[in-house]
Amino acid sequence: MKRYSERRTINVKPVIKVQLSEKKVKIRIALMIFLIVVAGISIPYALISLLSGENGWVAIEVSSTSEMNCSDEFVFLYDIGAAGVSASVEKKALISIYTDAAVNAYRIFNNDMVFDGVNNVAYINQHPNEVIQVDDVLYKAFSVLAENNNRSIYMAPIYHEYDNLFQSENDSQTFDFDVYQNNEVRQYFDEVLPYIQDADSVELELLGDNQVMLKVSDEYLQYAEDSYITNFIDFYWMKNAFIIDYFADVMTNNNYTLGSFSSFNGFVRNLDQREQTYSYNIYDRVGETVYSAGIMQYTGAKSIVNLRNYRMTTMDNKYFYEMDNGEIRTSYIDISDGLCKSSINDLLLYSKETECAEILMRSIPIYIADSFQEDELWELYQQNIYSVYMREHSIYYNDANVSITDLLNKEDILYTMQQVVYN
């Protein structure tokens, strides 16, 4: 069913621009290291490398004495000293604030462990049909999901099977968890999905004042007990979108805005309002090859969501599994049937006004689908959420203010730019 009835005519303006030669890599070969791939997302374009001294762009890490935290999934870069304050004092303050936020986020969104004094996701799962007071960060996350009618968090039982699949060390181990191979898994999905899809079976009610209740029907509770289901909700792969928005809020509230957060799985919050030029690498999967297709340059603060159905670093193994025959299982799972889907290999969305989690909510119906409907991007365009996607070695974009450079031109591969204009 179409998400809106009005259909817009799309004009495509071709632009051919040949720049630097770029490498291509096989999906099976992870790009070198997480810092290079992710930190390169949102640094000033003219910057050659991170400065080793106190001043300049520096990677901020959590305190070495910190408790368990989620910082290993993010890179936090900051332009130390640019605000005119002492570099050492500023860096110390940033480490302290970031450490507290990373520890807090790890606890709040944790689905496996409970912590004293924290009513997190795991705690909510253990206390269905009870009124629970939660942190305002978690309440905000639940509110974003509810406002967008997104029921993905209720797929916890499905996510559990995929999580086991992604931890497989070889193809033979995937059989027990792969719905595409195993009829018993297919039957299990067919049994549990009606509960997941039904608000009368499971629903997280927002009661105001940061109070929630995970309402679970007696029938679903009994089925969960019989089927060894322990979790009814789970943010799973979406978690980092909410966490990165939380990090951005923490830093902004503390008046630290000359920095950028990037997660390994495609979420970016650049906080810098200065008119500096930043760069974002654009990749394109064609068959079993991933090309470095070009570089998007932009200015000012941005929220970026990059959805891709292939691995870029070894950390992606958390949410991907590639079969020996080249088939890929991903965490982009359709709530209608429990199958992993992606309507296109790469979809990049960004906005100045809209946060990552909100962009993600609005893009899921477009990306986790059987086919890619280009005209649905027009609705996001109307909300100042712009998009970049690839097809047949062309980069399509609908933001007239963006600049795309360094188009791949190597051997028989030539990338071109195509601007999408709506009438």
**Mean pLDDT lowest among 28-37, 184-193, 342-351:** 28-37
Cα(151)–Cα(144) distance, rounded to whole angstroms?
11
Q: What angle do CA 102, 212, 242 make, to 5 degrees?
A: 30
How many Cβ atoms from other residues are within 10 Å of residue 400's Cβ? 9
| Pair type for strands 394-397 and 416-422 | parallel
User: What is the per-residue pLDDT across 289-331, written as a single tens digit (0 to 9) for each?
Assistant: 999 999 999 999 999 999 999 998 889 999 999 999 989 999 9
The yes-or-no verdict on residue 274 having pLDDT over 80 is yes
What is the band of 411 on the pLDDT scale with cuts at 50, 70, 90? Answer: confident
- Residue 27 is predicted with a pLDDT of 35
Q: Which residue has the tokens 């204009």?
A: 421
pLDDT at 344 over 80: yes
Q: At 46, is the pLDDT very low, low, confident or very high (cuts 50, 70, 90)?
A: very low
Q: Please answer whether residues 69 and 113 qualify as being in contact, where contact means their C-beta atoms are separated by less than 8 angstroms.
A: no
Residue 278 pLDDT > 70: yes
Do 309 and 372 contact (CB within 8 A), yes or no?
A: no
What pLDDT was estimated at residue 53? 52
Q: Which of 152, 149, 147 is nearest to 162 (CA)?
A: 152
Q: What is the pTM of this model?
A: 0.90
Is the pLDDT reported for residue 235 higher than 70? Answer: yes
pLDDT on residue 69:
96
Q: Return the pLDDT at 66.
A: 78
Does residue 195 carry a pLDDT above 70?
yes
Residues in the chain: 423
Distance CA 417, CA 396 (A): 6
Q: What is the tens place of the pLDDT at every residue in 54-67? A: 789 999 999 988 78
Which residue has better confidence, 17 or 113? Answer: 113
User: DSSP string spanning 243-309?
Assistant: HHHHHHHHHHHTT--SEEEEETTSEEEE---SS-EEEEEEEEEETTEEEEEEEEEEES-EEEEEEES
Measure CA of the first residue to CA of the last residue in the chain; give whole Å.
23
Q: Comparing 85 with 100, which gets the higher pLDDT?
A: 100
